[in-house]
Every structure is written in structure tokens, then in C-alpha cells.
């Protein structure tokens, strides 16, 4: 632990200002933090000018990043009949209905995203207390309840990400790996931030993107000009 803390302090010294800097400069600096034996995930954290206590100011959605997120995404799908066959053909890792619901009730949560066709919400609904706290509950707002299950599976397998605000009005999302090129990370981050702007609640007043910070799994954060 002492060695890790020494490493972290050394990286922290590279962040020479608390003021936000240009995204390209921040990504260039972040890539010098790749001093671990594993390929760290890059994350964007934002603080939004919303009141999370108001239901009409909550932010939730999904966006396909141009370069994916650099990991294999495990997709579970609630579907039946032709849609189940389409989901399997599109690359879903597990497909089911009542049987999948029973597995989840038994503790199975070995997937990163859950999709559902609208006709399966009667099966999915009772799983809210299990899937909701983990951010896995299918929702039309996040694009995880869909009539086009083929496109849905392919998009999430290719690196489409979900996001939602927490109780503090913060939204965080993975946007790639440190092994990505600077341009790939910049393009992914811009795509995410631009999409985040499009889902600004109409009821939210004043400054929306209050702060933007990028970091890697084991690195200090770097503030970015929003």
C-alpha cells in the first residue's frame, strides 16, 4: 500500500494546476499515468447543475462511443420467440424470459447490461430491486428497452454505454482504456459530453456541465474545460 501511495503522489505532482485544462492536453497527461501492469480504464466524471431530488431533473441515457470502451461487454436479453433468436444471432451472451428472471433471483448477475423487448417488461418489472441498485434495470430512457433487439445487442456489444446521475448530481462513465490513442480517447470523450448536453432536463436552470474530470483506474483526476 505504501508503494502504491508513493506512486499516486508522484502522479499527483504531474497535475500542476487545479484549474481546468484543454481536453487534448488532459488526455496527453493522463496517458503518462499508465504505470501499472494492467490496462487501466479511463473514466469521465461530471458534476451537473441539476436537482436530483426532482424526478424531472434526473439524467439517464446511453450513447455509442466511436471507438468502444476496450472491453468485452456481457449482454443479457429478456426476449421470446423470434426476438430471442434475433438476440442470440446478434451476439447476446444470455437470452431468456422467466428462466432468466429465475436465475437472477437466484443470484446470477454475470452481465454488464440487460436489454428487454417491451413485451417482456412484465417479467422484468419484479426484478427492479435486484437490478435497479446495480444500474442494470432495462429502461426505455437508456435505450435498453427496445423493439429492435438486433440493433440493441450489436450496439452494446460494440461499446455503447449507459449513464445516469447519482444522488449528488454526478454522472460518471467509462470512455476507453489508457492503451487507446490520444485521438481515440478525445473523440470518445467529446461524443459522451456532447450527448450528455443533449439530455439536459428542461427544468434544470443555470450552468449545466459544472465540472468535468478525467481519470484512470489508479490515477488522480485531471479537470477539463467543459
Cell of 104: 437472477
Asked if 40 and 177 touch (Cβ cutoff 8 Å), the reply is yes
State the pTM of this model. Answer: 0.78
d(CA 33, CA 36): 8
d(CA 192, CA 211): 14
Backbone angles phi, psi at 112, to 5 degrees: -100, -25
Per-residue pLDDT of the chain (226 residues; tens, 9 = 90+): 345 567 667 677 777 668 899 999 999 999 988 777 889 999 999 999 999 999 999 999 989 999 999 988 899 999 999 999 999 999 999 999 999 999 999 999 999 999 999 999 999 999 999 999 888 999 998 889 999 999 999 999 988 998 999 999 999 999 999 999 999 999 999 999 999 999 999 999 999 999 999 999 888 899 999 8
Amino acid at each position: 500500500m505504501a508503494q502504491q501511495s508513493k506512486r499516486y503522489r508522484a502522479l499527483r505532482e504531474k497535475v500542476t494546476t487545479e484549474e481546468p485544462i484543454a481536453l487534448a492536453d488532459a488526455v496527453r497527461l493522463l496517458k503518462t499515468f499508465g504505470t501499472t501492469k494492467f490496462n487501466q480504464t479511463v473514466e469521465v466524471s461530471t458534476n451537473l447543475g441539476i436537482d436530483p431530488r426532482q424526478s424531472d431533473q434526473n439524467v439517464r441515457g446511453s450513447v455509442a462511443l466511436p471507438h468502444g470502451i476496450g472491453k468485452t461487454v456481457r449482454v443479457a436479453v429478456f426476449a421470446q420467440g423470434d426476438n430471442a433468436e434475433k438476440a442470440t444471432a446478434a451476439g447476446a451472451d444470455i437470452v431468456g424470459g422467466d428462466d432468466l428472471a429465475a436465475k437472477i433471483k437466484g443470484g446470477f448477475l454475470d452481465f454488464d447490461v440487460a436489454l428487454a423487448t417491451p413485451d417482456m417488461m412484465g417479467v422484468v418489472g419484479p426484478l427492479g430491486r435486484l437490478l435497479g441498485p446495480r444500474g442494470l434495470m432495462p429502461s426505455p430512457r437508456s435505450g435498453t428497452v427496445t423493439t429492435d433487439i438486433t440493433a440493441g445487442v450489436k450496439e452494446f456489444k460494440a461499446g455503447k454505454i449507459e449513464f445516469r446521475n447519482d444522488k449528488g448530481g454526478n454522472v460518471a462513465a467509462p470512455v476507453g482504456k489508457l492503451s487507446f490513442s490520444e485521438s481515440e480517447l478525445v473523440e470518445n470523450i467529446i461524443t459522451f459530453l456532447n450527448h450528455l448536453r443533449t439530455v439536459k432536463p428542461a427544468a434544470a436552470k443555470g450552468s449545466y456541465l459544472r465540472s468535468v474530470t478525467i481519470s484512470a483506474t489508479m490515477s488522480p483526476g485531471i479537470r477539463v474545460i467543459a
